[in-house]
């Protein structure tokens, strides 16, 4: 049973990592200067990164911000 | 090197160590003080020395259980800082509410030993609240 609180920000980081030479979470963390646990938390939707970090992640993959992150509209 | 990064983030490891100290030391203090209070009037009990020892023991124990971050290994990023800030707010809230207890004891004009003990325990409870909020922040997310 998961007790993790999900954010409304969705992301494709996992897919993008694999599409970019199977980049590891540790490698991505190094590129954006955060801990691996933070990358894991973002991927699992337990943490919404700042706008600055979001841009850094998109820049690592060479894509637009919208291709990395989405936002679940409230019902 | 990030590949050698520990499984638990530094902030969570620190919180576990800090909480252990914040629970273990006051438990010993309470046991010692209850022993001293047995059969002795509260206004004649020496509580200053045990209190100083408890505070000192907390500092020393924290040096081992909650050491400062290691250079190059214990990286802190914006998530760590956000969790820390949220946890500090929780701890401060616990402190604010908890201080009603010693405040009430002062108004009731009880012996100093109870007031000092209550202040000390409220500080410890605040540390525990901060630690729990930190761990929850890491486990559940913000």
Return the exposure string of B27-56: e unless at least 16 CB atoms fall within 10 Å of the residue's CB, then b.
eebeeebeebbeeeeeeebebeebbeebee
Residues of A with CB under 8 A from a CB of B: 3-7, 26-27, 29-30, 33-38, 41, 45-50, 53
Q: How confident is the model at residue A3 (pLDDT cuts 50, 70, 90)?
A: low
Contacts with A4 from chain B: Cβ below 8 Å: 139-141
* pLDDT tens-place string over residues A22-71: 999 999 999 999 999 999 999 999 999 999 999 999 999 999 999 999 99
Sole residue written with tokens 């190094």: A30
* pLDDT tens-place string over residues B58-93: 999 999 999 888 887 788 899 999 999 999 999 999
Average pLDDT over residues B110-137: 96
**pLDDT at position A2 over 60:** no
Average pLDDT over residues B88-114: 97
Report the distance separating Cα A49 and Cα A10, nearest Å.
11
HEC-encoded secondary structure of chain A: CCCCCCCCEEECHHHHHHHCCCCCHHHHHHHHCCCHHHHHHHHCCCCCCCHHHHHHHHHHHCCCHHHHEEECCCC
Q: Does B142 touch chain A (CB under 8 A)?
A: yes
Higher per-residue confidence, A4 vs B136:
B136
The alpha carbon of residue B86 and the mean position of all alpha carbons in its chain are separated, in whole angstroms, by 16
Of B3, B5, B79, the CB nearest to A47: B79
The pLDDT assigned to B72 comes to: 76
Residue of A10, A11, A37 to mutate when probing chain B, most B C-beta within 10 A: A37
Q: What is the pTM of this model?
A: 0.86
Interface confidence: ipTM more than 0.85: no
Higher per-residue confidence, B3 vs B97:
B97
């Amino acid at each position: 049973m998961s007790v993790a609180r999900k954010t409304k920000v969705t992301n494709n980081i996992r897919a993008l990592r694999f599409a970019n030479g199977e980049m590891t979470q540790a490698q991505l963390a190094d590129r954006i200067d955060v801990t691996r646990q933070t990358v894991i938390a973002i991927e699992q939707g337990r943490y919404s990164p700042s706008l600055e970090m979001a841009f850094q992640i998109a820049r690592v993959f060479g894509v637009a911000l919208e291709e990395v992150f989405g936002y679940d509209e409230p019902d | 090197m990030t590949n050698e990064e520990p499984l638990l983030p530094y902030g969570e490891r620190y919180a576990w160590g800090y909480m252990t100290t914040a629970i273990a030391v006051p438990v010993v203090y309470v046991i010692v003080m209850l022993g001293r209070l047995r059969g002795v009037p509260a206004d004649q009990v020496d509580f200053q020395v045990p209190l100083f020892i408890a505070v000192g023991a907390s500092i020393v124990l924290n040096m081992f259980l909650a050491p400062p971050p290691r250079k190059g290994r214990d990286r802190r990023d914006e998530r760590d800082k956000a969790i820390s800030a949220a946890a500090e707010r929780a701890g401060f809230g616990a402190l604010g509410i908890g201080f009603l207890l010693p405040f009430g004891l002062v108004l009731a004009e009880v012996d100093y030993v109870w007031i000092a003990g209550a202040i000390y325990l409220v500080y410890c409870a605040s540390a525990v609240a901060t630690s729990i909020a930190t761990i929850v922040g890491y486990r559940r997310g913000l």
